[in-house]
C-alpha cells in the first residue's frame, strides 16, 4: 500500500474515533448506565442504612362520640367536618327527665335527714327510759332492803319478802329491756352526720342524678374535627350508641410499613424526613417512636372448618412488612394532618454522608413530584 493510501486510512480511523467520542447517543447511554448503577448501589445500601418508603399514611386517634344518657336531641351545634375546640358543645339532649330525677334525689336526701332526726329522738327517748329503769332499780333495792330487815325481825311476813324479791327481779329486767331498746335505736340510727348510710345513699343518688343531668350536654373532648355526623334535632340518642365521630387533632403520627430487610439498623429515635402529599415541596422532620415486632399472618379459620393456605407462584415471595411509627418533631403540620393522608418517608440510621445525601436528595425529588401525582 502506498504512503498516500496509508495516510488516508489513518485519517479515516481518526475521524471515526472522533465521531464515536462525540456521539450524543453514546454519551447519554453512558451517563444513564452510570446513574443507573449509582441508583442500584444506593438502593442496595439504603435498604439497610437509609430506608425509604411510600407505604406511609397519617394516623391519629378516632373517638366515637357516645352519649352516656338517653333522650331526644334538642339541639345540634356542629356540622359535618367542623373543627372544634375542647369543651365546645356538640349537641344537647332533652334534660326534663334528668331535672326531675335531681328533684326526686334532693327530696330523698331531705327525707333521709328527717328520718335521721327521728332516729336521734328515738335514741334520746331510749336513753331516758334506761335512766328511769336504772333509777327504779336503785329505789326498789332500797325499799327491799328495809322489807328484808323487817322480815328477819318477823315484823313482816315472808310473803312481803317474796314480793320485794320479785320487785327487784322485775326492775332489773326493765333495765335489760331499756338497754336493748337503746341498742336497737342506735342500730336503726346508724352513724351520725354524713357518715350515716341513709344519708350517704341519698347523697350518692343525688350526685348520680346531677351527673346524668350534666351529661345531657355532650362536649368535645379536645381539639379536633367532627365527621360521620348522623344525628339531627329530634333524633333519639341511646346511651352507648355512637352519634358522630371525633378525629383528635393534637396527636398525629405517620405509620410506615417497611419490609423486613429495612428493619435491621432501625432504632427508636432515628431521624426521619417526611413529605406529605397534601403539601408538595415541603419536608417535615420527625423521628421513629416505635418499631412493630408482630403482625398477624395466621390463616387459621374458625373451629369446625379447615385452615386456608394461600398458594403463590414465582421465584420471589412477597416481602413481609412491619409497621413503624413516626412522630413529628413540632406542630408545623397542624392543620395538614388528615387521617389516612399519604406520605413518603426517608429514614436516616447513621452518619454516612454519601447515603444520607442521596436520601436527602431523593425525598425532595419525590416531594416535588407529588405536585403532579
pLDDT of residue 238: 92
pLDDT of residue 114: 63
Asked whether residue 174 is domain-assigned, the answer is yes
Are both 231 and 276 inside the same structural domain? Answer: no
Dihedral (CA of 334, 335, 341, 342) sign: negative
Are both 293 and 324 inside the same structural domain? Answer: yes
Asked whether residue 128 is domain-assigned, the answer is yes
Which structural domain range is residue 304 located in?
50-60+249-370
Q: Give, in order, the Cα–Cα distances in Å from 365 to each of 28, 275, 349.
A: 21, 10, 20
Are both 334 and 356 inside the same structural domain? Answer: yes
- Residue 163 phi, psi dihedral angles, 5° rounding: -65, -40
Joined together, the cell numbers standing for residue 31 give: 451517563
Asked whether residue 10 is domain-assigned, the answer is no
Asked whether residue 34 is domain-assigned, the answer is no
pLDDT of residue 310: 64
The residue among 211, 235, 261 that closes a domain is 211
pLDDT of residue 192: 60
Asked whether residue 230 is domain-assigned, the answer is yes
Are both 257 and 199 inside the same structural domain? Answer: no
Are both 224 and 278 inside the same structural domain? Answer: no
Instruction: Residue 240: give its domain's CATH number.
Output: 2.40.50.100
Are both 205 and 304 inside the same structural domain? Answer: no
pLDDT of residue 286: 94
Strands of the sheet with 89-93, listed across from one edge: 217-219, 89-93, 71-76, 236-237
Are both 305 and 334 inside the same structural domain? Answer: yes
Asked whether residue 290 is domain-assigned, the answer is yes
Asked whether residue 43 is domain-assigned, the answer is no
pLDDT of residue 105: 85
Q: Give, in order, the Cα–Cα distances in Å from 162 to each of 106, 145, 165, 170.
A: 60, 12, 5, 12
Are both 56 and 78 inside the same structural domain? Answer: no
The residue among 244, 259, 288 that closes a domain is 244
pLDDT of residue 57: 93
Are both 264 and 229 inside the same structural domain? Answer: no
Joined together, the cell numbers standing for residue 297 give: 399472618
pLDDT in tens, the chain (373 residues): 555 555 555 555 554 555 555 667 777 888 888 888 877 777 777 778 889 888 999 999 999 999 999 999 999 999 998 999 998 999 999 999 999 998 888 888 777 666 665 555 555 565 656 566 666 666 666 666 665 566 666 665 667 666 666 766 776 776 677 667 656 656 665 556 556 677 778 788 888 888 999 999 999 998 899 988 888 999 999 998 998 999 998 889 999 999 888 888 899 999 999 999 988 889 999 999 999 888 877 766 666 666 666 666 666 677 788 999 999 998 888 878 888 899 999 999 888 888 888 888 888 888 888 887 7
Are both 225 and 335 inside the same structural domain? Answer: no
Instruction: Residue 302: give its domain's CATH number.
Output: 2.40.30.170
Asked whether residue 2 is domain-assigned, the answer is no
Are both 255 and 332 inside the same structural domain? Answer: yes
User: In angstroms, rounded to a whole number, what is the distance separating the alpha carbons of residues 71 and 74?
Assistant: 9
Whether this model's pTM surpasses 0.75: no
Q: Say how many domains are in the chain.
A: 3
Are both 256 and 363 inside the same structural domain? Answer: yes
Amino acid at each position: 500500500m502506498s504512503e498516500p493510501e496509508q495516510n488516508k486510512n489513518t485519517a479515516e480511523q481518526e475521524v471515526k474515533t472522533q465521531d464515536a467520542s462525540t456521539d450524543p447517543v453514546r454519551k447519554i447511554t453512558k451517563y444513564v448506565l452510570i446513574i443507573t448503577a449509582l441508583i442500584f448501589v444506593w438502593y442496595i445500601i439504603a435498604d439497610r442504612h437509609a430506608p425509604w418508603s411510600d407505604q406511609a399514611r397519617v394516623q391519629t386517634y378516632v373517638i366515637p362520640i357516645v352519649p352516656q344518657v338517653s333522650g331526644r336531641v334538642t339541639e345540634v351545634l356542629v356540622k359535618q367536618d367542623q373543627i372544634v375546640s375542647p369543651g365546645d358543645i356538640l349537641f344537647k339532649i332533652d334534660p326534663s327527665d334528668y331535672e326531675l330525677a335531681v328533684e326526686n334525689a334532693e327530696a330523698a336526701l331531705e327525707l333521709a335527714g328527717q328520718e335521721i332526726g327521728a332516729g336521734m329522738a328515738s335514741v334520746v327517748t331510749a336513753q331516758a327510759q334506761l335512766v328511769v329503769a336504772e333509777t327504779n332499780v336503785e329505789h326498789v333495792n332500797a325499799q327491799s332492803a328495809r322489807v328484808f330487815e323487817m322480815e328477819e325481825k318477823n315484823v313482816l311476813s315472808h310473803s312481803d319478802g317474796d314480793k320485794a324479791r320479785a320487785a327487784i327481779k322485775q326492775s332489773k329486767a326493765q333495765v335489760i329491756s331499756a338497754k336493748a331498746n337503746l341498742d336497737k335505736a342506735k342500730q336503726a340510727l346508724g352513724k351520725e352526720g354524713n357518715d350515716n348510710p341513709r344519708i350517704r345513699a341519698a347523697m350518692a343518688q343525688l350526685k348520680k342524678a346531677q351527673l346524668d343531668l350534666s351529661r345531657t350536654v355532650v362536649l368535645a373532648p379536645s381539639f379536633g374535627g367532627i365527621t360521620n355526623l348522623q344525628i339531627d334535632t329530634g333524633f333519639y340518642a341511646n346511651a352507648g350508641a355512637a352519634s358522630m365521630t371525633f378525629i383528635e387533632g393534637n396527636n398525629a403520627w405517620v405509620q410506615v410499613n417497611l419490609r423486613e430487610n429495612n428493619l435491621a439498623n432501625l432504632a427508636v429515635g432515628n431521624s426521619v424526613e417526611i413529605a406529605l402529599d397534601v403539601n408538595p415541596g415541603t419536608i417535615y422532620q420527625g423521628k421513629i417512636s416505635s418499631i412493630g415486632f408482630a403482625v398477624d399472618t395466621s390463616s387459621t379459620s374458625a373451629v369446625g372448618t379447615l385452615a386456608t393456605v394461600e398458594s403463590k407462584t414465582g421465584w420471589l415471595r412477597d416481602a413481609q412488612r412491619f409497621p413503624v411509627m413516626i412522630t413529628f418533631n413540632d406542630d408545623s403540620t397542624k392543620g395538614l394532618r388528615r387521617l389516612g393522608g399519604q406520605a413518603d418517608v426517608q429514614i436516616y440510621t447513621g452518619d454516612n454522608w454519601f447515603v444520607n445525601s442521596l436520601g436527602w436528595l431523593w425525598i425532595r425529588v419525590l416531594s416535588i413530584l407529588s405536585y403532579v401525582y
